[in-house]
Structure 1
């Protein structure tokens, strides 16, 4: 029963989120089970010259997954400014402070701050380009979704004339139909 509920929730995720989550879980399991070495997954600056890879060369990061996750957290937190958060039951704050709380926690654990700062910088750049700049006077959308992604992932429009079968209607009422009053 719990498996079915978990599967249902998993399938309710947006396609890209589901793919990213699946890739993270599979990659983590593969590394933990020694099927894949983490060194096979790292960013290799030498390949930039040989195979024209870009992004992380300028910030000297070898593993970009954490920075990507912080970027997603940053964008979510800026888009949900009024959500109240609780960190280990000790600290209450609004969502926009979440990336900074996570940065502070990373520092307490002895991690470097550069990965978090890179993620926040990229997240802020994306948030500004996607949410702030288009709303400014004379602003426009800088980032455009490629048509192939729209075709693959956009939901198909629902049929406005669709009526579910009677057994799917809650309460046994004829929702959406006129009542016969005598």
Structure 2
């Protein structure tokens, strides 16, 4: 019955985190099994427009490389900070989290169009990390067990790590920039004098991901579950007047 326990634990993962990380794993496995190649997945505006390969708008965010350390490292970070965001800042607000995904994808794709980047999964992960770090400024973290720092420094630590291992910082910087744009539009600007919320979640997303449960008209709650429980505050019933005793003759 171990597989049933694992399946139940898998289903307990929040829906957005579960969907995105599963798609990343399945994409990498498909490449490993040679069902597809990275050439079928990368961001290419020409192929999308001329050959209608619109799936590239999504698959460019799902590929982190072959099954190696870089893939495992990015997948762990993606799962961890996507999960933390969905369970804290976006708890009960799945539609807003989906809106964040849409904003991040559109902004990243726009930048990639002018910078000729083809795989954007690393940038998307960095965006998630950045937003989480800014919304949890007092959390202290450890990096590989020896570097202790507060959460807002995490993106800088990751940028330094990418530079140390010889990876390009361009993709990570794009993720930081997009993450900061979302943080500014959602958390900073609306709280300024005269500010307002720019990124408004469409109604259809709210209806799809955060439906309001309708009350059952035939539901009859218990007295303790009713407003005011047990009719607190209702007027007390008046005692019935006692019948007057009639004295019997001779008493």
What TM-score comes out, normalization by structure 1 length?
0.78
- Alpha carbons of structure 1 residues 98 and 9: separation in structure 2 relative to 1, 3 Å: farther
- Any idea what the Cα deviations from partners look like across 1:148-167, whole Å, max 9, x if unmatched? 111111154597x999xxxx
Structure having the higher Rg: 2
Give the total of aligned pairs. 164
Supply the RMSD in Å over aligned alpha carbons. 2.7
Q: Find the counterpart in structure 2 of residue 64 from structure 1.
A: 120
Q: Find the counterpart in structure 2 of residue 35 from structure 1.
A: 35
Deviation at 1:83, TM superposition (A): 1.3
Supply the distance in 1 between the matched residues of 2:134 and 2:10 (Cα, whole angstroms). Answer: 25
Supply the distance in 2 between the matched residues of 1:93 and 1:5 (Cα, whole angstroms). Answer: 36
**Structure 2, unaligned stretches of length 5 or more?**
58-108, 222-228, 231-251
Q: Find the counterpart in structure 2 of residue 128 from structure 1.
A: 184
Further displaced range: 42-51 or 81-90: 42-51
Supply the distance in 2 between the matched residues of 1:155 and 1:10 (Cα, whole angstroms). Answer: 23
Supply the distance in 2 between the matched residues of 1:99 and 1:32 (Cα, whole angstroms). Answer: 30
Deviation at 1:24, TM superposition (A): 0.9
The one of 175, 181, 203 aligned to 1:119: 175
What TM-score comes out, normalization by structure 2 length?
0.58
CA contact (8 A) 1:84 1:92 kept: yes
Deviation at 1:101, TM superposition (A): 0.8
Deviation at 1:144, TM superposition (A): 1.0
Supply the distance in 2 between the matched residues of 1:90 and 1:102 (Cα, whole angstroms). Answer: 15
Deviation at 1:32, TM superposition (A): 1.9
SS in 2 for 1:16: helix
Q: Find the counterpart in structure 1 of residue 245 from structure 2.
A: none
- Any idea what the Cα deviations from partners look like across 1:96-123, whole Å, max 9, x if unmatched? 1111111111111101110000000000
Deviation at 1:10, TM superposition (A): 2.8
* Higher RCO (C-alpha under 8 Å, 6+ residues apart): 2
- Alpha carbons of structure 1 residues 107 and 3: separation in structure 2 relative to 1, 3 Å: farther
Supply the distance in 2 between the matched residues of 1:25 and 1:135 (Cα, whole angstroms). Answer: 38
